[in-house]
Amino acid sequence: MAGVTYDHVTKQFGDVKAVNDLTIDIKDKEFLVLVGPSGCGKTTALRLLAGLEEISAGNIYIGERVVNDVAPKDRDIAMVFQSYALYPHMSVYDNMAFGLRLRKTPKQEIDRRVKEAADILGIGALLTRKPKQLSGGQRQRVALGRAIVREPKVFLMDEPLSNLDAKLRVQTRAEISRLHERLETTFIYVTHDQTEAMTMGSRIAVMKDGVLQQLDTPQNLYDYPVNTFVAGFIGSPAMNFFDATLTGTREEPCLDTGAFKLPVPPDSKEKLANYLGKAIVMGIRPEDIHDRDHTPGGLNGAPVKAKVDVMEPLGSEINLYLLSGDKTYVAVVDPRSQARPGKEIEVMMNLDRLHLFDKQTEQALR
């Protein structure tokens, strides 16, 4: 097995830098997820590692070996694509065995690997079927099996679940996580779905416009985003942002959004000392805004009056789209809430969970 290192890697298409000075050290046996919106460079980064694109600058290492000029077939990686790419005229067994036959792997070894992979994925009973006789989820497992039999050092997955329906995505997501635990191999997984990233990755690399924004554990990305892009991308519903001015005094500063005011928590006063009278961006996640009638005990909160615009009951919680003055924002509240569209309510904002950003740089104020 092996780790992977991107060492100041750049990929340029004409005047466009699809990947810009990317440096990531991926540990052996790690499950790293590359996440970001369409066009952020995550798939290009994966294709550079696979050898399907040439590097414009920098180096890529698999283990200790620089693989910039190594042919894809010699990199000891296996890739699972968004499309299943199965041969329609071949059985499941033959689809999984095809790559090994090309490598002149002994027949007995092929049989062992295919049946072992089929057992891992629960498709042992499907080995004689053709792809057209399989469901979407079963085809995706065959594509995974075709990669597993290679017994590679690194698995690369490029949005492998995007063709599945919602229920199958959740199920297959769990299967891939179990697969990683069982195989103990390095996995690098590309997705635009932040829920997939948060639930699967041991670490997540968030990308935007070819540039790595933040590389951290899922919980740290959620709790300590380094800028407004990461803060808004991670979490569903997305974080609420308010343009605010820091008013009051150094001893008692206050965040004034124009629609409501919030006191600055004690542990944030010092870091905001130089921003008095200046514009900043305040962020708060919807799940940190509570219906005042159902506020958790011990919450360090501040009340804000709001009007309910839209209500989305989800069973275990309710999404409320709220209006305070000219500000619109979302709150995720207790399902027992009596809030209704058109009704005036009071919500409590958790002051210990405020996120503050520099207005100009969009970087977090730590």
Q: What is the pLDDT of residues 125-134, one digit of tens each?
A: 999 999 999 9
Return the structure tokens found at 315: 């069973």
Domains of the chain, CATH where assigned: 4-233 (3.40.50.300), 240-358 (2.40.50.140)
Return the structure tokens found at 66: 């620089």
Strand order in the sheet with 289-291: 289-291, 344-350, 301-313, 318-324, 327-333
User: ∠ CA(11), CA(17), CA(20), 5° rounding?
Assistant: 70
**Residue in 294, 343, 338, 304 with CA at minimum distance from that of residue 324:** 304
- Mean pLDDT for back-to-back runs of 10 residues, the chain (366 residues): 92 95 96 95 95 96 94 90 86 93 92 90 90 88 88 90 80 86 92 92 96 97 97 95 92 92 87 88 97 91 96 96 96 95 96 94 90
pTM: 0.89
Contact 263, 249 (CB under 8 A): no
**SS3 sequence, 303-359?**
EEEEEEEEEEECCCCEEEEEEECCEEEEEEECCCCCCCCCCEEEEEEEHHHCEEEEC
Q: Map tokens 């305040």 to a residue.
A: 282
Contact 282, 241 (CB under 8 A): yes
User: ∠ CA(172), CA(178), CA(163), 5° rounding?
Assistant: 15
The whole-angstrom separation of Cα 69 and Cα 71 is 6
Q: Map tokens 């065995």 to a residue.
A: 97
Confidence (pLDDT) at 1: 62
Amino acid at 140: Q
